[in-house]
């Protein structure tokens, strides 16, 4: 079975060591020797998660390697598919995975409805989703506290005053409020102030300067900061697609670009819900000679990477607590494959 096997060891009441073993296949090895068109078609079938992003990155990288850009209609179609896919993945974590991890009920019908809507080609989901997300965070009272409606992404900045945010979380009756309330209990004492590491990718490092996210991080509430950052990222994405007339550009919330640093070489970067996806291709005589894919999971769960450093040092009294905390942090950094966490007791002393 492919996925991540995470092992943690304890010493002195803390997680001392973290090891991440990956059993993930490398689809990039299947691409050398193929023509670009064949490789693009294959990329669309190799990934069950973020498949639209993988195909888009492949098309962008290979077009750049051939010294051309994508036709505007093709680019727009790919961009729309990647945006819908990113919204689906954000919603999956916020409406299903986090509630389930925290022992909360999951509204499968609500999730399934939004999932279908965001994945339907040509569907008008962005504007209605912004309204839905406003309801998650207090609805009209948040949007228009002074009697004048303002964009949700601006209104959320007022939660930088954590007393106001915590008061809403303590009494809120929305799935998101209940999720944050339970998360606060679940991770109490397990966080510490920390800016995102340079090698971490995802909503949190991209939105580390958002006032609400930054306030949580400064207060040592790193798990909450990452969940809130995912919510804010979804708000930004939906808002940028819903209101281009206000000058907002979808590319500001969803990176989607490529370049050709030298003849025959193309590089592409595409945003996913988990972070930046990178593709690099080298062509010779119209055939792929080298191809590399670096996923957000490759970065965040690298040996001694962002995940391992976030978990090492967390206080825990026993193996069960170590596994629980390591599991919360794994979901926060969100691998694109299943993961299992196993605590193996105290570190053996020499």
Confidence of residue 194 (pLDDT cuts 50, 70, 90): low
* Residue 271 exposed, middle or buried by CB count within 10 Å (0-12, 13-18, 19+): buried
DSSP assignment of 138-197 = TTHHHH-TTSS---HHHHGGGGGSHHHHHHHHHH--SHHHHHHHHHHHHTTTS----PPP
Confidence of residue 84 (pLDDT cuts 50, 70, 90): very high
For residues 325 and 13, the answer to whether their CB atoms sit within 8 Å is no
Statement: residue 248 has pLDDT above 50: no
Q: How far, in Å, CA of 163 to CA of 169, rounded?
A: 10
What per-residue confidence (pLDDT) applies to 155?
85
Confidence of residue 54 (pLDDT cuts 50, 70, 90): very high
pTM of the prediction? 0.92
Per-residue pLDDT reduced to its tens digit, 211-237: 999 999 999 899 999 999 999 999 999
What per-residue confidence (pLDDT) applies to 340?
95
Per-residue pLDDT reduced to its tens digit, 295-336: 999 999 999 899 999 999 999 989 999 999 999 999 999 998
What per-residue confidence (pLDDT) applies to 193?
54
What per-residue confidence (pLDDT) applies to 46?
84
For residues 334 and 26, the answer to whether their CB atoms sit within 8 Å is no
* Residue 23 exposed, middle or buried by CB count within 10 Å (0-12, 13-18, 19+): exposed
What per-residue confidence (pLDDT) applies to 1?
54
Name the residue ranges covered by the structural domains of the chain.
4-346
What per-residue confidence (pLDDT) applies to 48?
74
Confidence of residue 189 (pLDDT cuts 50, 70, 90): low
What per-residue confidence (pLDDT) applies to 44?
78
Across residues 201-218, what is the average pLDDT?
94
- The secondary element (H helix, E strand) that includes residue 259 is strand 256-262
Span 4-346: which CATH code?
Answer: 1.10.645.10
26 token code pair: 């490398």
What per-residue confidence (pLDDT) applies to 24?
80
Among 198, 231, 189, residue whose Cα is nearest residue 212: 231
Statement: residue 140 has pLDDT above 50: no
Task: Enumerate the β-bridge partners of residue 279.
Answer: 268, 293
Among 252, 279, 247, 251, residue whose Cα is nearest residue 265: 279
DSSP designation for 97:
I
Statement: residue 147 has pLDDT above 50: no
Contacts of 91 (CB under 8 A, 6+ apart): 111, 114, 115, 118, 234
């Amino acid at each position: 079975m492919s996925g991540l096997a995470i092992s943690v060891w304890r010493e002195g009441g803390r997680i001392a060591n973290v090891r991440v073993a990956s059993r993930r296949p490398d689809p990039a090895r299947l691409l050398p020797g193929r023509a670009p068109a064949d490789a693009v078609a294959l990329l669309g079938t190799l990934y069950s998660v973020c498949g639209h992003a993988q195909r888009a990155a492949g098309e962008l990288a290979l077009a750049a390697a051939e010294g051309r850009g994508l036709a505007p209609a093709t680019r727009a179609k790919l961009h729309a598919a990647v945006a819908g896919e990113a919204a689906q993945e954000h919603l999956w974590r916020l409406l299903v995975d986090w509630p389930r991890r925290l022992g909360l009920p999951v509204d499968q019908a609500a999730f399934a409805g939004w999932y279908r809507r965001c994945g339907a080609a040509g569907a008008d989901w962005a504007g209605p989703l912004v309204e839905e997300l406003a309801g998650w965070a207090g609805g009209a009272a948040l949007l228009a506290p002074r009697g004048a409606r303002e964009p949700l992404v601006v209104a959320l900045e007022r939660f930088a005053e954590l007393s106001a945010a915590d008061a809403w979380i303590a009494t809120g009756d929305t799935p998101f409020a209940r999720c944050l309330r339970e998360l606060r209990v679940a991770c109490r004492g397990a966080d510490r102030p920390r800016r995102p590491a340079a090698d971490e990718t995802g909503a949190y490092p991209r939105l580390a300067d958002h006032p609400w996210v930054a306030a949580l991080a400064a207060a040592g509430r790193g798990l909450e900061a990452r969940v809130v950052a995912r919510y804010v990222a979804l708000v930004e994405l939906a808002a940028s697609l819903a209101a281009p007339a206000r000058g907002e550009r979808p590319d500001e919330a969803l990176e989607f670009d490529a370049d050709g640093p030298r003849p025959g070489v193309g590089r592409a970067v595409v945003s996913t819900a988990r972070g930046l996806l990178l593709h690099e291709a080298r062509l010779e005589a119209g055939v792929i000679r080298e191809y590399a894919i670096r996923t957000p999971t490759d970065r965040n769960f690298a040996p001694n990477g962002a995940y391992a450093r976030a978990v090492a040092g967390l206080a825990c009294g026993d193996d069960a607590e170590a596994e629980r905390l390591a599991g919360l942090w794994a979901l926060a950094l969100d691998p694109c494959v299943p993961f299992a966490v196993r605590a193996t007791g105290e570190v053996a002393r020499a």
